[in-house]
């Protein structure tokens, strides 16, 4: 399974809870609205053609928000990080599911057709992993570190990759898989966010900021930003140039008015009130 793959049907009923059932009912209503909007925009098209447009709309939205969704997945993992000291602190033992819902209106701007509603953290070892593996998800759950090791080499990034976390974006019966990389903080980020300041970042507020960002059609960028330098991420919006949509950075004032933090791409990796730090040897984890 490759990154950004549209999986189709995945049975998650065995992972679900009553709150998820309520969420599903609301999501069904939102999807029906989207399908009606597509049928009105493309009269005469077949049921299959409308479903294909729905899938492409979702994929286009995901591509525009890929970097933002990676950071949102990490912030949600930190928000719902296990507090039991006996729980696993290995980040790749967890899967983050981000629940996506279509907007009530259809936009030509590909960044504005869906919204990030909520998330869920699943411990993916033991029975949960076996269930996922039986549905063809095993390879995806084991792929994050190899995928980002390859990407780091391909993009000429530094050798500071610590780990990567699987996350899946769920809209109706469509699932998109990706992996969120975690790098050892670079000198620039460490200068801006020493450990004491890292502990002051509230992951709940961070996740809410990413939700608001996506709802407004804003996205982290620019294109080609180094994934290993958190402080270089900026917030932008899509503007149409000719026939193409291009990312354009918001001004500092616009970003402040929107309520975004000064360094919106920074997500401290905190588990059980500890900050994970990898020593230069890379041989073991320390908790500080």
The pair phi, psi for residue 280, each rounded to 5°, is -55, -30
Q: What is the pLDDT of residues 142-180, one digit of tens each?
A: 888 899 999 988 888 867 888 899 999 999 989 999 999
Contact present, 103 and 29 (Cβ < 8 Å): no
Contact present, 56 and 150 (Cβ < 8 Å): no
When pLDDT is averaged across residues 266-282 and rounded to a whole number, the result is 49
Contact present, 113 and 102 (Cβ < 8 Å): yes
Question: Which pLDDT score is estimated for 270?
Answer: 55
- Asked if residue 132 has pLDDT above 80, the reply is yes
User: Domain-by-domain residue ranges, the chain?
Assistant: 13-287
pLDDT bucket at 51, cuts 50 / 70 / 90: very high
Helices (H), the chain: 18-41, 47-64, 66-79, 127-134, 138-142, 144-154, 187-192, 195-198, 203-215, 252-257
Question: Which pLDDT score is estimated for 288?
Answer: 26
Question: Which pLDDT score is estimated for 117?
Answer: 96
- Eight-class DSSP state of 57: H
Question: Which pLDDT score is estimated for 216?
Answer: 98
Tokens of 107: 């936009």
pLDDT bucket at 18, cuts 50 / 70 / 90: low
- Asked if residue 283 has pLDDT above 90, the reply is no
When pLDDT is averaged across residues 68-92 and rounded to a whole number, the result is 77
Helix/strand/coil for 243: coil
Contact present, 268 and 274 (Cβ < 8 Å): no
> Which of 124, 119, 128 shows the shortest CA–CA distance to 141?
124
195/115 Cα distance (integer angstroms): 32
Tokens of 108: 């030509």
Q: What is the pTM of this model?
A: 0.85
State the DSSP H helix or E strand holding residue 174, giving kind and residue range, or none if neither. Answer: strand 174-183
pLDDT bucket at 1, cuts 50 / 70 / 90: very low
Contact present, 91 and 121 (Cβ < 8 Å): no
pLDDT bucket at 197, cuts 50 / 70 / 90: confident
Residue with tokens 């980020």: 189
When pLDDT is averaged across residues 252-268 and rounded to a whole number, the result is 92
The residues, any chain, with a CB within 8 Å of residue 168's CB and separated by 6 or more, are 7, 95, 96, 97, 98, 140, 175, 176, 177, 178
- In the sheet with 286-287, reading across from the earlier edge strand, the strands are 270-271, 274-277, 286-287
Question: Which pLDDT score is estimated for 48?
Answer: 96
pLDDT bucket at 203, cuts 50 / 70 / 90: confident
Question: Which pLDDT score is estimated for 187?
Answer: 85
Report the percent of the chain where pLDDT is more than 90: 51
Question: Which pLDDT score is estimated for 10?
Answer: 46
> Which of 227, 215, 223, 224 shows the shortest CA–CA distance to 258?
215
CA distance to 14, 129, 160, 175, per residue, from 18 (Å): 12, 22, 41, 21
Q: Give the lowest-confidence range in 75-79, 107-111, 271-275.
A: 271-275
């Amino acid at each position: 399974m490759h990154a950004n793959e549209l999986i189709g049907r995945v049975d998650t009923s065995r992972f679900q809870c009553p709150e998820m059932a309520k969420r599903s009912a609301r999501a069904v209503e939102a999807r029906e609205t989207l399908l009606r909007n597509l049928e009105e925009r493309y009269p005469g098209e077949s049921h299959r053609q409308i479903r294909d447009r729905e899938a492409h709309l979702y994929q286009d939205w995901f591509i525009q928000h890929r970097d933002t969704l990676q950071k949102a997945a990490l912030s949600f993992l930190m928000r719902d990080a296990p507090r039991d000291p006996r729980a696993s602190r290995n980040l790749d033992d967890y899967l983050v599911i981000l629940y996506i819902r279509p907007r009530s209106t259809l936009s030509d701007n590909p960044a504005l057709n869906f919204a990030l509603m909520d998330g869920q953290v699943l411990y993916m070892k033991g029975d949960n992993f076996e269930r996922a593996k039986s549905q063809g998800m095993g390879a995806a759950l084991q792929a994050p570190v190899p995928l980002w090791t390859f990407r780091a080499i391909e993009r000429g990034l530094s050798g500071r990759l610590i780990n990567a976390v699987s996350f899946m974006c769920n809209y109706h019966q469509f699932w998109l898989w990706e992996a969120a990389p975690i790098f050892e903080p670079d000198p620039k980020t460490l200068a801006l966010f020493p450990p004491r300041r890292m502990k002051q970042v509230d992951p709940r507020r961070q996740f809410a900021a990413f939700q608001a960002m996506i709802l407004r059609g804003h996205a982290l960028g620019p294109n080609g930003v180094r994934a290993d330098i958190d402080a270089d991420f900026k917030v932008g919006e899509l503007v149409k140039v000719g026939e193409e949509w291009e990312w354009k950075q918001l001004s500092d004032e616009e970003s402040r008015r929107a309520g975004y933090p000064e360094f919106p791409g920074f997500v401290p990796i905190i588990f059980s009130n500890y900050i994970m730090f990898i020593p230069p040897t890379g041989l073991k984890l320390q908790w500080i």
